[in-house]
Structure formats: structure tokens, C-alpha cells
Structure 1
């Protein structure tokens, strides 16, 4: 395949899973001789942009309310002009991949092509969460989700496809699942790096921002009910908030909270067990990363992703969500016995070469019927 010019569009480069995936894709596409461009709606950076990959930013930090109802039309027009300007300078894009709500809303309104929207999370669970925050938050998110009507969607798990079909809330033009990409060799190499801050002795680990979706309350309740009182390392973006919650649940003395880590893999590799306690996920990247580091994992059976990662014998380490008692039992069980992690089924499914090839195939015209 000759070199392709690909736009990877995302709201920002703040420290989340979707942002990490976009950077991973861009790096591998560049390595293979393609021309990825990072198109960022707003300048917010936790991650370092890989060398040699062009970065384009549409709005500046002074721009507020860019998707407010009174401004959306003008913002979409600006996005269209921005992309047209990039194409005039560098050539037409063979593929435009949009990631996250703000980008999706702006790009669908701007009418750019050839556009695919990557759905990173459960639509219904996100809407449920926003409904609790009030009608304005709910209607704002609903508008972004309805923008997916008539669009070509890429979902990061098969569960998201099932959800969209079952609810019928949106009617996409097409849907295809492409799992998130993982460079297994690179992850294992990074896991070997020495970090003097990692504690000695056995510990559990949880990696994820402090947000309602991640259910730290359930995690801390499960920790309190464990038979073996191991400490828990929390790699998160808001240690103060995490410690306040841990204190509320009576486990603050067992929490080690070093904050966000650019390289979490040595921490994961040294852990006795990685735990995910979420209400919902898009895929559950950290579960795959834990297994790749050779660390046993336990997770809630939340929508979507964990039951596509923990298959076969590993499915026995899924607990019902929002059940701290069941999660605690699974943690205790995993600490006593866990199957071999030499070659999990998911490793081949998410290998970076395979995933990038799937994305690049979107550049090719469909075969005649």
C-alpha cells in the first residue's frame, strides 16, 4: 500500500485512554511510511507529541463554549476552513478519524470527508451519567451522540455495536469493530524500566482517573473486605480526591498514591494484581496492558470490553459490577491462583500491526459486489 495521509482528530491531548490510542496509531502509521497528522480541537496536553508527526490546533485556550448552541454553526465553519487549509498545504486526506464528542459534533456539522467516527465508550452509560447531572448536561451530550446518525462508525469493542443495535437510539450508516492497538513488545520493554519510587513488597494496583465511572468507592469497599490486607497503589490524576474518598471508606492507611505516571508499566509489572472496578468502559485498555506485563487482573463484568479481554479460564475473574463483596472474593481468589499468562487470546487480536492494517484498509475503495 502506498503512503496514506491520515487525519487523527481529537478534542485535546489530555491524559486519557482515547488520547493515548490516537498517539499510538499515529506513531505506528508514521513508522510504516504513512503521513499521519494530529488535529487537536483545543490545546490541552498531558502527553508528548511524537517527533516528526505534524500537530495542528484549531482553537486557542481563550476560546470558550465552542459547541454551545449559539456558536456551533460558526465553530463548525471554522473547523471546515481549518481542515481545508491543512489539505491545501499538505494534500488531501485519504482518511479522517474523529475521536470524542466535541470532535464528532464539529466534524459531522462541518461535513468533512472521508470521515469515520471512533466510538470509545458506552453511549447509553455516558448518557445515564449525564442525566444525573441535570437536563442541560444530558441534552448537550445527547446532541453529540445524535451526531452519529448516518455516520460510518468504528467501535473499540463488539459490545458497543450490540448496544447501538439493541437500543436503536442512533442509526449509523455502517459499523465495524476495530480493537484498540497495543505494541506488546514496547509495553514489555517499558515495563522493565527501573523506577525507584515503586514500593517494595506485594501490592495491588488500579490505573485510572478519579471519576464516577471508575467506581473507586466499590474498589475501596472491596479492599476493606479482603482476607489479605495488601496495600493498593493508585495511579490517577487527582491524588487528593482519591485519598479523601479512601479516608471515607476507612482504607486510607493502605493507599499509595504517586499520581499520574507517564510510564505506568513498571508499576503494573511489579504488582501482585491489577483491579478494574468500573461501571462501564469502552474496551478496558489497562486490563490488556496488565496481562501483557504478566500481571494477573480482576475486573467488573461491565459494559463493554472486559468480557472480550478476559476469555476462557480468565473469565472466572470477572465480578458483577457495583458488588464490592463479589469483587473482593475475586481478588482473594486471584491472589491464591491464576492461570498462565504466557499467551492470552487477546494479544493477537489487539496486536498493533493488525489494528493499523484494519484502519488503513478504510482508505481503500470497497470491492465491487
Structure 2
């Protein structure tokens, strides 16, 4: 009996897509959370994700399977400081040569990384992801200082490939004479499942209003928050979660006679139970890139009231929720809307935050790998 060899089917195994994120740091703030959230979902979908951090500041937990490489740089003298972007870029290029990888997608996050990446071998391939309103850098600048800052914006972003986390960011670039060659709006990833798992913990308060953000007077305007809360006349205490200018905020609370009504809790590793059980979350910023905490509050089912600041809140609070946006400098309207939201809270549904789901956002990054965009996404 003759034996014939079995026919073996040849299976072509494709290599995973290679994604490179470059960032100033993975420390505090919303940007590292967003970068790592995106890295997590792309890795889950079978991509190989590398994050190059241009400092030693890596404070956040790293998702399984994500490769994080630190490439810090410190200048030794003034000349090095002046040439820091080019010198740091040289270190990045040396690392990339050692890695010997061809990346399908390169995204630089945060301003310093934008400056460095344009001097590297990946300058033409990289997307610059802008996570805050670029016009913010022009605030409080006049004359020659404002001219120089606007020139920097134009030098960096005009004619570049830009990802913006809100439409308002692209509009701000255009307003200041720095329109990108290609602009794409991709919102921050909001990990709905993770938030739902984290938000069920117990908290020590009930029937309260919550504020969750850094205590930063220049941007976050906790002075506006305290004044509007006081003017609203609501009975609920205000629970404040966040670090930063805690001493200054405490002084202002005492000056306003709010010691028994405003509670400073400091930073919480898991703020979601506090958001989930609050009657209302309030955001009072002068500017945002996106306003991540607003979307997170909606995931928790918590109504929100926000200033209509550039550039994200209006894109999160749409349709029926747009009524809870108030003009930026109208504290009386803010106070009225806080009281109205307590009296007649809106019902929050998954449709209010579906646009920010991991799969939705990951699909848009996949699109960047397979398509060469040709027009602004305005």
C-alpha cells in the first residue's frame, strides 16, 4: 500500500501593525491617560504598540503588551538648551535605528514631542496630536511676545499632519494662521467598561455636587466655581477632587465663608464612585482641549454643567445636553444652570457617549494607517 504525503496548507501569517506614540511624559494629567487608553485598545486588537517617553516621568500603570521606552535628555549648558530639540531628536533616531522597525503609524503627543519629532527621521510620517487649544499659548501675551508665539505656532503646525481631539482645536489653528496640510479630528478614548467597573465603590458623602480636576486658577478657574456654587443657592455641599493649588483654594473658601459647604478631598486614584454618586458634576474652565471629565461623568450617568469654553465641551454636550453649557464669563448663568440641573436633571443614556468608545476611536486610528487623507476634517 502506497502512502502519500499529506497536503499541507500554507498559512500566511501577517505581521502585526506597528504603532509608535511619542510623548513628553506619562505622568499626571489627562493626556497620559488618553494615550495609554488608546494604546490598550490597539494592543487588544492585535497591534504592536511602542511608546517612547521623552523623560523619566512614567507614573501611570502600563497596559499589558505595550512597550514603553524612556529617552530622557538633559542639557549641560546654554548651547545644549538652545539646541535641545535637535539633540533630543538625535537620541530618538539612535533608538529607532536600534529598534529597526517600520512603523505603520507614528503619533507625537504634546508640544515638546512635536518640536522633537520634526527633527527626526520620522518627521514626514508623523502625525502631531494636539490635546489643548493652541490659542491658549497666546493668552496674556501682547506685542512682540504674542508675535513670537504665533510665529512658533505657524512654524510647527502650518502644513503639518495634525490630529486634534476636538474640532475647536483645528479652528483655533486656522484662526491663528497655522492651518495644517491635513487635519483629522479624533476624540479621546473613554474606556466605558473600565469606568463602569470602577464607579461602583462606596463614598463617604451623599447628595452632593462634585468638581473633578486640577486646582489651577489660570485654566480651571476654581474661583468661578466657588462663586457660582455660592450664588446658586443649592443645599448640596460641593466636593472638590483634585490636587494643585490646594492652599490657595482653601484660603478662598475661607474668605467666602464656605468652610462648612466646600470639601477639598485632594487627588483620588479612583474618582469614579464620587462622580457616579454625585447629583451633578461642574466644570468651570477658561479653556480645554477636550474636557475628558465631562465624557467620563456621562459614562457614570451623572449630569454635567460646563462653561462653553474652547474647545471641547460643546462637542461633548450636544443636542439635549447643550442646554447645560453656559457662556464663558456669565457666572450668573452658571449659577442658575447649576440650580436648574439639580432641580430637573437630564437623563443620561449610552447614546450621549458612544462616540468616545474604544472601538469607535480605534477604527479612526486604523483609518489613518490605510488611507492618505487629503483634506481638513472641519
- State the TM-score, normalized to the length of structure 2: 0.87
Which residue, out of 109, 126, 149, partners 2:158? 149
Per the alignment, residue 286 of structure 1 pairs with 293
Partner of 1:304: 311
Q: Please give the per-residue CA displacement for 1:79-108, whole angstroms capped at 9, x wherever unaligned.
A: 244244235325122211111111111111
Query: Equivalent residue for 1:181?
Result: 189
CA distance in 2, matches of 1:48, 1:112: 27
CA contact under 8 A between 1:218 and 1:323: conserved in structure 2? no
Q: Residue 111 and residue 251 in structure 1: after superposition, are their counterparts in 2 closer, same or farther (change >3 A)?
A: farther
- The answer for the alignment partner of 2:6 in structure 1 is none
Partner of 2:240: 234
Aligned to 1:208: 213
- 1:110 matched to 2:117? The reply is no
2:10 maps to which residue?
none
Deviation, structure 1 residue 24: 0.3
Q: Any conservation in 2 of the 1:40–1:57 contact (CA below 8 Å)?
A: yes
Q: Residue 102 of structure 1 contacts residue 144 of structure 1 at CA under 8 Å; is this kept in 2?
A: no
Structure whose CA Rg is larger: 2
Please identify, of 302-311 and 229-238, the stretch whose mean Cα deviation from structure 2 is larger.
229-238
Q: Which runs of 5+ in 2 are unaligned?
A: 1-13
Contact 1:287 1:309 in 2 (8 A): yes
The 1:188–1:153 alpha-carbon spacing in structure 2 relative to 1, beyond 3 Å, is: same
**Deviation at residue 44 of structure 1 after TM alignment:** 1.9
1:69 Cα deviation from its structure 2 partner:
7.6
1:220 paired with 2:226, answer: yes
Aligned partner of 1:340 among 323, 335, 347: 347
Q: Deviations over 1:187-237 (max 9, x none)?
A: 111111x24xx2222111111112211110100101111222321111112
Q: CA–CA distance in 2 between the matches of 1:138 and 1:43?
A: 33
Is 2:23–2:110's contact at 8 Å kept on the other side of the alignment? yes
1:220 and 1:171 map into 2 onto residues whose CA distance is 37
CA contact (8 A) 1:15 1:45 kept: no
Contact in 1 for aligned 2:80/2:87 (Cα 8 Å): no
Match of 2:167 in 1: 158
Quote the residue 1:24 is aligned against: 37
- Runs of 4+ in structure 1 off by over 6 angstroms are 134-138
Deviations 1:234-293 (A, max 9, x none): 111223343233234332332222222222111100111000001111111111110110
Question: 2-side partners of 1:355 and 1:188: how far apart?
Answer: 18
Q: Aligned partners of 2:89 and 2:113: how far apart in 1?
A: 9
Question: What is the aligned partner in structure 2 of residue 172 from structure 1?
Answer: 180
1:258 alignment partner, SS class: strand
